[in-house]
Structure 1
Amino acid sequence: MLATGCDRRADTGAVVVSAIGSPPTLANPDLRAIDEPSRALIDATAQGLVRFDAAGQIEPGLAERWTVIDDGMTYIFRLRRATWSDGRPVSAEEVAARLKRHVAPTSRNPLVPFLSAIDDVVVMTPEVIEVRLTRPRPDLLNLFAQPEMALLRTRPVSGSGPFRMVQPGPSPLLRPAVDPDRDEADEADRGARPERDVRLIGERAALAVTRFAAKRSDMVTGGRFSDWPLLSAAGVAPANIKVDPAAGLFGLAFTSRDGLLADAGARDAISASIDRTAVLKSVRSQWLPTETLLPDQLDSATPPSVPAWVALPLAQRRQAAAALVRAWGKPVRLRISLPAGPGATLLFTQLATNLAAIGIAADRVAADAPAELRLIDEVAPYDSGRWYLQTACAPCGPEASAALEAARLAPTLPERSRQVAVADATLTRDAAFIPLGRPLRWSLVALRLRLWTANARAAHPLNRLRLDTR
């Protein structure tokens, strides 16, 4: 009955998408704070040079093709014909100017620390721009495909597609933009078919799941571990629940180095005492744990650095950690900052139990409150060990920071790989971060959305959901 119930939505009309968060907006977005609805709206209406397709792979955006030359030091992009939402043509000068703003050191763009190799953006012809680097970056296209790199015009705020906002408001209606390279009859047919439209709703997870369960929406996107328990309570059919194999960081960063936490050995002992399997399975039984910062070798010269305690039984690790806490001779109490939601409550209960086993008391505080341990739950924008290490270093010691800076400034790819390996080993010794697992990202998807594909970026562009929206 569940299997048949999940496919009762008629394959007609606009696709209704609930994104977990606040009502979406394009107005003066603070790129450090955009939540899933605004991120989806920006991605849908303001593409960058390239985009992610349904499988999380690179596809053309404003650039119809590109070439990499000079041993990876120069990217040349040929722009396609495109227009802003008012019909005015997009020019190469506008693209270059907006791209420069995105990568400027003063930009609010959270990707700026990973774009420092960009030296200049130059207009070569009315159709061609050139991005010049000081150091080779083979992963640049994955960064350019992020919604944070979408090219927005500011007065008024608008983009170049692939959608236009035809009904603004808290739940905007989006329609495929006219493509100047398609003939008028084809474009008229595209605009006349409401099933090509998307209604984007930003709302809290409980409302989004309830709406989907009542068959009043076709997709819920932006699901995280904090709201995972809602799915069983809502009785959503298993065929509609999709989990991405998201690559990224999920764990606790030591944000304080005072008292007991000033000692790397103490931080390492606390990390060693966590029963990661029990912690993650309290939220989702299939959630697999990890003990390393890097998920794979990636662009490091060596496999991920493994903490020395991994080979020891958990009971022995806890015994050593408890002895260290007792030797400190003072009560130890740690604040753990977590988001709201039932999944976060389950996670905190397990973490507090684990810490109590070694004599440490724990308090749960809000995600933006001062804390000694702060949850990092981020999907990696590209496959570089430097992103993992830099993101986990919040903060880390001077030796680890110096190793990360050396990796950033490495003039060649082999040297970069060597320095990433050094930074990985140094950060592991520094015990700046407690890795727990990979980020949990889930969606609810009606079977009419036949293009939806699970992927490591957890990227699901709104123009890549149904077969007839290509």
Structure 2
Amino acid sequence: MVASAIGGAATIADPSASKLDFAQRVLVGATAQGLVRFDSAGGIEPGLAERWIVIDDGRSYIFRLREAHWGDGTEVTAGQVVRSIRRSAAERSRNALAPYLAVIDQVVEMTPQIIEVRLKQPRPDLLKLFAQPELAVLRPRGRDGSGPFRAQPSGGGVLLHAVDQTYASEDASTPASRSLRLFGERAAVAIARFRAGQSDLILGGRFTDWPIATSVGLNPANLRIDPAQGLFGLAVVRREGFLADAGNRAAVSMAIDRARLTQALMPNWTPSETLLPAQLDSAVPPALSTWSIMTQGDRRAAARARVALWRRTHPGPMEVRIALPTGPGATLLWGHLAEAMLRIGLTPVRVAIDAPAELRLLDEVAPYDSGRWYVNTACVACSPEAAALIAAGREAPSLTERAQRIAEADAALTRDAAFIPLAQPLRWSAVALRLDAWQRNTRAWHPLNHLRNDRE
């Protein structure tokens, strides 16, 4: 089997030393495992831990480790697992999930087979974090993991051999494939490879590349869309000039016709006007903007009036720089955003995703189902009030208080118009029909050892 992961080269990198791109996440997830892993449906299955219990009202997770080995045959020890988790959760860690691991108080080796993770506050969703590739246990020097695959460079890609048959259980629906070749590459190259019949799978497709996938004649039966949940919208990154005022930031949000925007990229892509996709662990449903009941025409009229009022006392150019990624999907998005800005009297300027800007696109799938991830990620340059509520949610001593702080932070961010939601993240794959164990899921994550119902 041959698979492509959209991104840079597929290399094994230490998640505690740098943020992984998608191809690196796929390779780390294939060659290393944490205490638990995601299955094909986005659920939790055993990894290095064969079983676990949660005690003390969700403040203590106790894991019993199974027998596992590094690439050279030496045994994975509880001490190595403990040190890996500590390194990921350390204050100076560059792990992308480190801000959500600050709740960990201690990681303790209780016996050679049992470790305990003690928390400062209860976190019922901790296992979903531990299942992420960022929490995979790697041997620091060798940067190798304990499977389910071993990797070796091969022809510009990576050859993966299945060595861990833990997942080839008695249930014949979940065997590990024996071997596969993985490429980390640009979307256009991955699509050309798939279209030529030289690969069986593309993972990691985004809105930026969707127009390519739909315009080159790929069989619609091979294109799969995940019901991904996360953030897709514009974060305010500079609260200066016109965007220094919350009412003006709201005017920018009102100007955007989300329905037309999403329809232009994919007909069944649902627009979004709230920061949270659902209530999740918030005390109340997602906060709505005061203008949410207005028609699109009324929204734009109100936004134009707001810009005109500002111009009376602030003459001169009113530029708004919008940082976007490359790709045809991003160009389509830019066209709709630019039209919206021009219609209300602003001058939009497109800049690179990492360039200085007033607004920057966030396109991230949530690693776990907590409103805290949403409010914390959206708060790039939010109000002191919202930032304080987000911090209070992190430190809340009970789940009830945490839910209330999350709700208050959601409401504060919405009032502040610090984030402009557009839709849920668009994630797609191209899947050969014989890979019949592939399943849609909200994590948009598809482990390479869970793709077929029959052995190769």
Rounded Cα–Cα distance in structure 2 between residues aligned with 1:31 and 1:223 = 25
The verdict on how the C-alpha distance between 1:114 and 1:29 changes in structure 2, with shifts beyond 3 A counting, is: closer
The verdict on how the C-alpha distance between 1:216 and 1:102 changes in structure 2, with shifts beyond 3 A counting, is: same
Q: What is the aligned-residue identity percentage?
A: 56
Q: C-alpha offsets along residues 245-269 of structure 1, whole Å, 9 cap, x if unaligned?
A: 0010000001010111111111112
Q: Which residue of 2 aligns with 1:285?
A: 267
Q: C-alpha offsets along residues 417-470 of structure 1, whole Å, 9 cap, x if unaligned?
A: 111111111111011000000000000000111110010000101111112459
Match of 1:442 among 424, 428, 437: 428
Q: Secondary structure at the match of 2:292?
A: helix
Q: Which residue of 1 aligns with 2:321?
A: 335
Q: Secondary structure at the match of 1:121?
A: strand
Q: Secondary structure at the match of 1:418?
A: helix
Higher alpha-carbon deviation: 149-158 or 220-229: 149-158
8 Å CA contact 2:256–2:336 kept in 1: the answer is no
Work out whether 1:199 is the aligned partner of 2:181.
Answer: yes
The verdict on how the C-alpha distance between 1:169 and 1:236 changes in structure 2, with shifts beyond 3 A counting, is: closer
Q: Which residue of 2 aligns with 1:271?
A: 253
Q: Which residue of 2 aligns with 1:312?
A: 294
In the TM superposition, residue 22 of structure 1 has moved relative to its aligned partner by 1.2
Q: C-alpha offsets along residues 394-421 of structure 1, whole Å, 9 cap, x if unaligned?
A: 1101000011111111000011111111
Q: Which residue of 1 aligns with 2:59?
A: 73
Q: Secondary structure at the match of 1:467?
A: coil
Alignment of structure 1 residues 183-262 onto 2, 5 Å: 196-262=178-244
Work out whether 1:106 is the aligned partner of 2:92.
Answer: yes
Rounded Cα–Cα distance in structure 2 between residues aligned with 1:416 and 1:194 = 40
Q: Secondary structure at the match of 1:311?
A: coil
Q: Secondary structure at the match of 1:142?
A: helix
Higher alpha-carbon deviation: 24-33 or 113-122: 24-33
Alignment of structure 1 residues 130-209 onto 2, 5 Å: 130-167=116-153, 170-179=156-165, 196-209=178-191
Match of 2:104 among 108, 111, 118: 118
The verdict on how the C-alpha distance between 1:28 and 1:419 changes in structure 2, with shifts beyond 3 A counting, is: closer
8 Å CA contact 1:196–1:468 kept in 2: the answer is no
Rounded Cα–Cα distance in structure 1 between residues aligned with 2:455 and 2:310 = 63
Rounded Cα–Cα distance in structure 2 between residues aligned with 1:308 and 1:361 = 25
Match of 2:346 among 353, 360, 372: 360
In the TM superposition, residue 33 of structure 1 has moved relative to its aligned partner by 3.3
Work out whether 1:46 is the aligned partner of 2:46.
Answer: no
8 Å CA contact 1:82–1:179 kept in 2: the answer is no
Q: Secondary structure at the match of 1:116?
A: coil
Rounded Cα–Cα distance in structure 1 between residues aligned with 2:92 and 2:238 = 27
Rounded Cα–Cα distance in structure 2 between residues aligned with 1:226 and 1:194 = 31
8 Å CA contact 1:31–1:148 kept in 2: the answer is no
Q: Tell me, which stretches of 5 or more residues in structure 2 are unaligned?
A: none
Q: Secondary structure at the match of 1:249?
A: strand
The verdict on how the C-alpha distance between 1:42 and 1:328 changes in structure 2, with shifts beyond 3 A counting, is: same
8 Å CA contact 2:77–2:112 kept in 1: the answer is yes
Work out whether 1:303 is the aligned partner of 2:285.
Answer: yes
8 Å CA contact 2:159–2:182 kept in 1: the answer is yes
The verdict on how the C-alpha distance between 1:106 and 1:469 changes in structure 2, with shifts beyond 3 A counting, is: farther
Rounded Cα–Cα distance in structure 2 between residues aligned with 1:194 and 1:301 = 41
Rounded Cα–Cα distance in structure 1 between residues aligned with 2:63 and 2:200 = 36
8 Å CA contact 2:19–2:94 kept in 1: the answer is no
Work out whether 1:453 is the aligned partner of 2:439.
Answer: yes
The verdict on how the C-alpha distance between 1:235 and 1:122 changes in structure 2, with shifts beyond 3 A counting, is: same
In the TM superposition, residue 154 of structure 1 has moved relative to its aligned partner by 2.0
Q: Which residue of 1 aligns with 2:368?
A: 382
Q: Which residue of 1 aligns with 2:72?
A: 86
Rounded Cα–Cα distance in structure 2 between residues aligned with 1:262 and 1:158 = 48
Rounded Cα–Cα distance in structure 2 between residues aligned with 1:211 and 1:181 = 29
Q: C-alpha offsets along residues 52-102 of structure 1, whole Å, 9 cap, x if unaligned?
A: 000010000000000000111100000000000111000000000111000
In the TM superposition, residue 182 of structure 1 has moved relative to its aligned partner by 9.7
8 Å CA contact 1:37–1:200 kept in 2: the answer is no
The verdict on how the C-alpha distance between 1:28 and 1:55 changes in structure 2, with shifts beyond 3 A counting, is: closer
Superposition CA RMSD, Å: 1.9
